Amino acid sequence: MEARESFFPTKLFGQETKRTCERIWRCLKKDKVITSIGIYGVKGVGKTTLAKLINHLVEQKTKSQVIWINVSQQCNIKVLQNDIAKSLGFDLIEEHDEEKRAIALHESFKEKNDFVLVLDDVLENVPLKMLGNPLKIEGGRLIVTSCLLETCRKMGCQRTFGVKTLEAEESWSLFIEKLGNEMIIPREVEGIAKVMVNNCTKGLPFGIVTLATKLRELELSNVDEWRKAFKESFKEENNDVMKMLLYSFNSLKDEKLQQCFLYCCLYPEDEKISKDHLITRFVLEGLIDEQESREAEFEEGYEILNRLEGVCLLESGVNSVKMHSLIRDMALKITNENPMFMVKAGVQLNDAPKQDEWIENLDKVSLMRNQIAEIPEGTSAKCPRLTTLMLQQNYYLWKIPDSFFEHMKALRVLDLSHTCIEKLPDSVSELENLTALLLAFCWNLRSIPTLAKLELLQELDLSGTGIQTLPESLEALLSLKCLSMYAMRWLERIPIGILPQLSTLQRLVLSHHIDVQGEELEVLNELEEFQGRFSTIHDFNRFIRAQENEGCLVFYRILVGDYDGLGQMTQIEFNHGRISDKLVKCYGLGKEDEVLLLPQDIQHLKIESCNNFSTCLSDFLSCLYDSKDLKYFKVRWCNKLEYLMKVKQGQESVLFPSLEHLDLFELPSFVGIFDESETSLSPSIPLVGTFSLLRMIRIERCHNIKKLLPIDLCSNLRHLERIYVLSCSQIEEIIEDQENDGIVVFPKMTRITLWSLPQLKSICNGKMKCNSIKKVSIKECVKLRNLPLFFSHEEELKIPSTLKEIAINSSEKDWWESLEWDHSTTKIELQPFLNYF
């Protein structure tokens, strides 16, 4: 239901707020299952106003009694019990036992057939049992407003609704209304006024109303007075809004949680910060306690970010978070004192800060994403407390003097990624507290000084550097957990014996042109994330066996065979600081005696240019029968391959139960998905569950296949959404149906594309029911005589309401006209959907 102005007894500002109000009202009025609702957002955003509006609606439109209780920070259980008792018409003055008082409240609630208890401005969890257990009473409902989503959840709220700040135009409309009709803003200052309203209130209704009230009281008469009033109000109002926001920050209480929040202000304004990247930084900064595994640390990190989102201090995006500009202003204000940050991120600086700006009390400095070219010779940043220095993405930065790091003995994180430095200062070797040295994509960097003293180093990122030989004493980094050496085109090899000494490694990312031996990684039992290449099946199998026996590998991107230099699946996004795939790619494998051993939890498999994989793929990959988690399967450029899987008589294991995407490309000998030489696919063969989650199948340039899917398999394809069959010169049937009278149902099918299939005679000899179909695209299928997608049912033509387009090649109008239809009006009915391309 769209928010309507007439719905609300008082005027609400903000379309999102209106929709939230309607959703809450709908829960209270219609949904008898939902008995508890939480409303959360930063202080001053309008939670109480929204709750009061709901209160008014309940009182006006229902017979429910509303019990409104203000919960202050100093409130205790007895005070709340007294307030509730007073609202219910009795008192608890003579009873001092809290549990007996709670029982009395419960008995009083029982006398109410229908009531809503509103607890406004709750900071911490209030035990409902001590308030009379209102939700244990039939007809009892609860509304909680809080700055903290976490508090709403702890109090058992079944549904939670966030209240967002107003957009710029909505803020201006509220300001004008609260200013009043008697005050007209001169046109000359209207532009300034809009900027002021937006900048000093940032969409918080409380701030907007306060600003308008103050200006209204001044009785301004001319342009100069208006200008002066706005300038004076800006600072005062900004302070008021800051106080409201500080309430949310102080409510965190947990010091490490506060530090994690403040860390986010080191990034440029409006930056979408990767969650994985942030969590990695939290770990390196010591803001997340060391866990038994990297995975456990990430779980704690996600919990921290969820809590910060829950108090509306961070805005959640797709795998990222963002700071509202006013929230960031508050964080920067806090970090002007303790802790002390210098943040000049993304502000187009051409010059590094002067010597006198590097003061002793600095804890963290962010100069990222600027245009700094060099740090002047002789600059020595005397910052003994400095723990973080972010200089990344200063793409022109080529020179840092050796003196610069001499007094940064506490430095933990040094990020110089995406700069063009040619030489790393020798003084970096003396930073004994360093936990992270990040040099990704410093293309001009040819060498780095010895790492012998960096015994606490946990992460070293050399990806994309011009380094030709590994740094001295790399093997001595006994605390190293993450080592990234991707896209190091000048590094030809990793000397034998170095990797086994890095026994604490949890994440290892290697360039795919570097061949690694299985025995080098066997002892890395703490490895959770790995990306790299094994040139032989033997080395790959050795690694996989070691991991499955004693390892803890969680995510991996592994290339087996030749280095292809191609493919998105061998790339990694460095900003995220985490591999999240379970992928194996085989490329150019020659004839070997060993059968490839796949990880049991593999989700993505690519087989490319493996011409010695002949006849049936499962002969070389017998573990495919047990790959229950495989979701994406792509095979291409395998000239001798005829089948994917051999189905045997008495086959018990379900094949591909989790597979979602099947992509077959340029397999000139390919005959079919299943080899039926030992049996025939029929109901007697236990194929229930096979392809049960398949969403897309694509087959292209496979010139030997004649039939794609047996009809007995189609009943499993309830989730199939798209079929693409392209340039397969011999294919005659998409669905093999020898009986000619079956009905195939694809409830989720949205798209069918058939291009360049000169021998195709039938999509399906029976009928196809595709009630979700959106687009059918056909080109160069000259022998196809009918489309079984639209058929008569009880003498009535049924064209799916979802259909948007039937795309036909513009040169094939005669073919369309020659098609045969079961129903005489079908072609006419389909004409509006026809699109020639």
Per-residue pLDDT, 675:
83
744-749-751-755 Cα dihedral, nearest 10 degrees: -30
> Does the residue 109 lie in any domain?
yes
When pLDDT is cut at 50, 70 and 90, the band that residue 6 belongs to is: very low
Residue with tokens 């009880």: 794
Domain containing residue 265: CATH number: 1.10.10
Mean per-residue pLDDT, 825-832:
86
Mean per-residue pLDDT, 701-710:
94
Whether the per-residue pLDDT at 569 is higher than 70: the answer is no
- Within this chain, do residues 511 and 559 fall inside the same structural domain, yes or no? yes
- Within this chain, do residues 222 and 260 fall inside the same structural domain, yes or no? no
Tens of pLDDT along 138-180?
Answer: 889 999 999 888 889 989 999 999 988 888 888 888 888 887 7
Q: Is 391 exposed, middle or buried (0-12, 13-18, 19+ CB in 10 A)?
A: buried
The C-alpha atoms of residue 201 and residue 211 are separated, in whole angstroms, by 8
Whether the per-residue pLDDT at 292 is higher than 90: the answer is no
Q: Lowest-pLDDT range, 4-18, 205-219, 303-317, 708-722?
A: 4-18
Whether the per-residue pLDDT at 10 is higher than 60: the answer is no
> Does the residue 818 lie in any domain?
yes
Per-residue pLDDT, 114:
86
When pLDDT is cut at 50, 70 and 90, the band that residue 821 belongs to is: confident
Whether the per-residue pLDDT at 368 is higher than 70: the answer is yes
Residue 803: CB atoms within 10 Å? 20
When pLDDT is cut at 50, 70 and 90, the band that residue 551 belongs to is: confident
Whether the per-residue pLDDT at 659 is higher than 50: the answer is yes
Domain end point (choices 492, 519, 549): 492
- Within this chain, do residues 277 and 369 fall inside the same structural domain, yes or no? no
Residue with tokens 């909505």: 170
Per-residue pLDDT, 463:
95
Whether the per-residue pLDDT at 685 is higher than 60: the answer is no
Whether the per-residue pLDDT at 282 is higher than 90: the answer is yes
Per-residue pLDDT, 36:
93
Whether the per-residue pLDDT at 216 is higher than 50: the answer is yes
Q: How far, in whole angstroms, is CA 75 from its chain's centroid?
A: 39
The C-alpha atoms of residue 28 and residue 153 are separated, in whole angstroms, by 18
- Within this chain, do residues 478 and 508 fall inside the same structural domain, yes or no? no
- Within this chain, do residues 125 and 177 fall inside the same structural domain, yes or no? no
Percent of the chain with pLDDT over 70: 89
Higher pLDDT, 582 or 562: 582
Tens of pLDDT along 103-137?
Answer: 999 999 988 878 999 999 888 888 999 999 999 99
Per-residue pLDDT, 150:
86
Whether the per-residue pLDDT at 686 is higher than 70: the answer is no
Whether the per-residue pLDDT at 74 is higher than 60: the answer is no
Give me the domain span that covers residue 190.
168-237
> Does the residue 674 lie in any domain?
no
When pLDDT is cut at 50, 70 and 90, the band that residue 683 belongs to is: very low
The C-alpha atoms of residue 296 and residue 290 are separated, in whole angstroms, by 9
> Does the residue 648 lie in any domain?
no
Tens of pLDDT along 496-523?
Answer: 999 999 999 999 999 989 999 999 999 9
- Quote the number of domains for the chain: 6
Whether the per-residue pLDDT at 773 is higher than 70: the answer is yes
- Within this chain, do residues 420 and 287 fall inside the same structural domain, yes or no? no
- Within this chain, do residues 278 and 393 fall inside the same structural domain, yes or no? no
The C-alpha atoms of residue 109 and residue 113 are separated, in whole angstroms, by 8
Residue 279: CB atoms within 10 Å? 25
Strand, helix or coil at 151? helix
> Does the residue 388 lie in any domain?
yes
Please provide the average confidence, as pLDDT, over all residues in the chain: 86
Domain end point (choices 586, 606, 636): 636
Per-residue pLDDT, 800:
87
Per-residue pLDDT, 181:
67
- Within this chain, do residues 722 and 818 fall inside the same structural domain, yes or no? yes
Burial 523-552 (b: 16+ CB within 10 A, else e): bbebbbbbbbbbbbbebbbbbbebbeeebe
Q: Are 774 and 800 in contact (CB under 8 A)?
A: no
- Within this chain, do residues 130 and 117 fall inside the same structural domain, yes or no? yes
- Within this chain, do residues 216 and 266 fall inside the same structural domain, yes or no? no
Per-residue pLDDT, 5:
39
Residue 803: both structure tokens together? 């259909």
Higher pLDDT, 298 or 2: 298
> Does the residue 626 lie in any domain?
yes
Domain end point (choices 319, 339, 359): 339
Per-residue pLDDT, 796:
59
Residue with tokens 């795309």: 807
Residue 246: both structure tokens together? 């500080």
Per-residue pLDDT, 214:
72
- Within this chain, do residues 485 and 510 fall inside the same structural domain, yes or no? no
The C-alpha atoms of residue 170 and residue 160 are separated, in whole angstroms, by 24
Residue with tokens 């189905």: 647
Alpha carbons within 13 angstroms on the beta-carbon side of residue 379 total 20
Mean per-residue pLDDT, 763-788:
90
Q: Is 763 left (phi over 0), alpha (psi -120 to 50) or beta?
A: alpha
Tens of pLDDT along 313-345?
Answer: 898 888 999 998 778 988 999 999 889 999 999
Domain containing residue 445: CATH number: 3.80.10.10
Domain containing residue 96: CATH number: 3.40.50.300
Per-residue pLDDT, 325:
79
Residue type, 472: E
> Does the residue 354 lie in any domain?
yes
Whether the per-residue pLDDT at 359 is higher than 50: the answer is yes
The torsion angles phi and psi of 744, rounded to 5 degrees, stand at -100, 130
- Within this chain, do residues 565 and 541 fall inside the same structural domain, yes or no? yes
Mean per-residue pLDDT, 29-41:
85
Per-residue pLDDT, 780:
95
Mean per-residue pLDDT, 363-375:
97
| 472 CB-near residues (< 8 Å, 6+ apart) | 449, 450, 451, 452
| 812 CB-near residues (< 8 Å, 6+ apart) | 779, 780, 782
When pLDDT is cut at 50, 70 and 90, the band that residue 713 belongs to is: confident
Per-residue pLDDT, 142:
93
> Does the residue 280 lie in any domain?
yes
Whether the per-residue pLDDT at 629 is higher than 70: the answer is yes
Whether the per-residue pLDDT at 47 is higher than 50: the answer is yes
Q: Is 628 exposed, middle or buried (0-12, 13-18, 19+ CB in 10 A)?
A: middle
Per-residue pLDDT, 213:
76
- What is this structure's pTM? 0.80
Per-residue pLDDT, 574:
40
